[in-house]
Chain A
């Protein structure tokens, strides 16, 4: 089966940098995605890594290493509004875009 592991909680202060790790046990996937979900809201897409390496989108960056079965989301210049849950997910081959999600990391940004 497939599984993705993330830390359950992370706390950081405004302006800091935080890294949320995701390790996985899966095979046959297109890439690793990251989603943000504020309390009571819907998940929104943040970033995607189809190939190994770093992808940068503004304050957010994501990294994938298939050989290490590992990825991370890096958030820079943290803002209070970044307090949310962050999920890594893998898109499985030949399953029409089906995603398997990690358990999520709750990020709390303190002043």
Chain B
């Protein structure tokens, strides 16, 4: 099956710093990728849709200036959490769709902001 990687798998940073998370489709091209955030014992909340060659589409309530998304190629999307604060600590997961019925998820990035 298709493989999606994420890097880093975990990161600890100080409040006020920016953190970049990479999401790569390893064996297929993805014109669209999705970024989710998941708090403990909760569901996956879609943050934004990353579109290759164009601006990302953000879900309601997600600050686009805080969560910068860049989809520079057909295999790479990046999420940058700018000026991170403790409340941004979460599990961030990307995914890439195959057709309309299946998404392949990356292994996730656990962000801890001190």
Task: List residues of A whose CB falls within 8 A of some B CB.
Answer: 30-31, 33, 41-45, 48, 50, 87, 91, 95-104, 106
How distant is the Cα of A97 from the Cα of B104 in the complex, in angstroms?
A: 11
Identify the B interface with A (CB < 8 A).
Answer: 32, 34, 41-44, 46, 49, 51, 93, 95, 97-108
Assembled-state Cα–Cα distance A104/B45 (Å): 12
Shortest distance from the beta carbon of B72 to any chain A beta carbon, whole Å? 18
Partner of A103, one of B43, B97, B108: B43
- CB proximity of B91 to chain A, nearest CB, Å: 8
Q: CB distance B102 to A102 under 8 Å? A: no
Given contacts A31-B101, A42-B105, A48-B101, 17 further A-B contacts (CB under 8 A): A33-B101, A41-B107, A43-B44, A43-B95, A43-B105, A44-B105, A45-B103, A87-B43, A87-B44, A97-B97, A98-B49, A99-B34, A99-B46, A99-B97, A101-B46, A102-B43, A106-B41
